[in-house]
Structure 1
Amino acid sequence: MILLNGPNTPFGRLAWATALQLATEVENRVIDVYSAGFLDALNPLRQIPTLVLDGDRALFDSRVICAYLHSLRPEAALIPPSDWAVETRWSLAVGLMEASVARTMEMRRQPPERSMASVAKHDQRIARAIAGLEAQADEICSRKARIDRLATAVVLEYIDFRAVSDWRAAAPRLARWLEIETTRPSLVSSRPYDLQPTGGDRSILHPQIAEGARP
């Protein structure tokens, strides 16, 4: 299997971290999504992450990919069956990713084209989502791997990576938990980056572009 990915998309990072957490054999291939014409035949939306299974079979989006990878290793219990509270927290973390990426992309516009009203709406959504996750810290702040916890760690690190929000004062329990959770090997190995690293399979021509390509 090949995971078509970017260097700093939180959605793609969650899929890759899930594969690593489950010790599933997947090649993480970082691509320039804007020039990847071949991707259209696999994913008509031309979005990442996309998981190529074999030949012309592919899965997307990130939640579908994570669920599929878990189906290969259900004994890991990363996604508890029919636990709708876990599924809802996972969805909340993904929604926070969407708002954080949207804010990042809006702020990259030239000032005359930038909508500060849109930025303010994203900021409000981000603040509400973080408060919602903090309110459920009893369930999230654990060292036992689970998809809602993995997604929460990924999005909080993305917020730090892009300086989206100074969130720690509003979510002290999540902040304390994240300090330890980010040492998890699956998160260490999937950490986002901007500059091309040395060695490995993570090279990319245009490292700034891919995070907004797909939820």
Structure 2
Amino acid sequence: MILFNGPNTPFGRMALATALELQVEIENKVIDVYSSEFLDAINPLRQIPALVLNDGRAIFDSRVICSFLGALRRDERLVPRDDWDVQTRWSLAIGLMEASVARTMELRRPAAARSETVIKNHDRRIACAITGLEAASAELCTGEPRIDRLAVAVALEYIDFRSVCEWRSHAPELARWLGNETERPCLAASRPREAQNAAPAAR
């Protein structure tokens, strides 16, 4: 199987880390999504990650890929289908990724084209998501590895990597947990090269 991925996308990293945790053998192929016209035939939205199976079928987006990998391994420990608390925290972590990526992209626009209103809306979503995850830290920070924990770790490391905001003073339990969690082999091995030597936002 081939996972078409980007160099720094948190969504692709979440899918790759899931495959590594479940020990599913895949080829992680990093591409430039903007110039990869071939991707249109795999995902009509030309978005990554996209997983191409051995029989040629394609699966996307990141959440579907992670669920597929869990089903492939018949492993509901990592991706429990009927635990709605885990599913909800996972959804919140994905929303945090989406807002963080969108904010980063907005700041890359020419200064005259940026919208301070849009940036503030992303900031509000990010702050509220972190507050919600901190409130759920007792569930997130204990027990076996699960997809909600993996997704939250990926989201928070992306925030550090892109210097999106200083979040640790507002989420001390998550901050303490993250230091150990990100040393899990699946997270260490999936960390983008650019992020490996990047200093995190103020600790």
Paired position in structure 2 for 1:92: 92
**1:153 aligned residue:** 153
SS of 1:74 mapped into structure 2: coil
Distance 1:191 1:108 in 2: 22
2:76, 2:56 → 1: CA distance? Answer: 28
Q: Secondary structure at the match of 1:75?
A: coil
CA RMSD of aligned residues (A): 1.2
Kept in 2, the 8 Å contact 1:42–1:56? The answer is no
Q: Does 2:74 correspond to 1:74?
A: yes
Residue type of the alignment partner of 1:144: E
Look up the equivalent residue of 2:41 and give its one-letter code.
A
For 2:28 and 2:76, locate their aligned partners in 1 and report how far apart those are by CA, in whole Å: 21
Deviation by residue 1:19-61 (Cα, 9 ceiling, x = unmatched): 0000100110000111111111111000000000035410000
Q: Return the alpha-carbon distance in structure 2 between the equivalents of residues 69 and 120 of structure 1.
A: 36
Name the structure 1 match of 2:200: none
Which structure ranks higher in relative contact order (CA pairs < 8 Å, sequence separation ≥ 6)?
Answer: 1
Q: Letter of the aligned partner of 2:189 in structure 1?
A: S
**Alpha-carbon distance, 1:193 to partner:** 3.4
**Amino acid of the residue matched to residue 39 of structure 1?**
L
- Aligned twin of 2:9: 9
Contact 1:93 1:148 in 2 (8 A): yes
**1:185 correspondence with 2:190:** no
Count of aligned residue pairs for this structure pair:
195
Q: 1:193 & 1:114 partners in 2: Cα distance?
A: 29
- Equivalent residue for 2:20? 20
Mind listing any 5+ residue stretches in structure 1 that lack a counterpart? Answer: 196-215
Confirm whether residue 117 of structure 1 aligns to residue 117 of structure 2: yes
User: Which amino acid is 1:12 matched to?
Assistant: G
In the alignment, residue 21 of structure 1 is paired with which amino acid?
Answer: E
Letter aligned with residue 168 of structure 1: R
The TM-score normalised by the length of structure 1 is 0.88
Of all paired residues, the percent bearing the same amino acid is: 65
2: CA distance, partners of 1:194 / 1:107: 19
Paired residue type of 1:159: I
Partner residue in 2 for 1:206:
none
CA-to-aligned-CA distance 1:108-146 (integer Å, 9 cap, x gap): 111111111110110000000000000000111126210
Q: Shift of the alpha carbon at 1:73?
A: 1.4
Whole-angstrom distance in 2 between the partners of 1:173 and 1:48: 31
Opposite residue 35 of structure 2, the aligned amino acid is S
The corresponding residue for 1:140 is 140
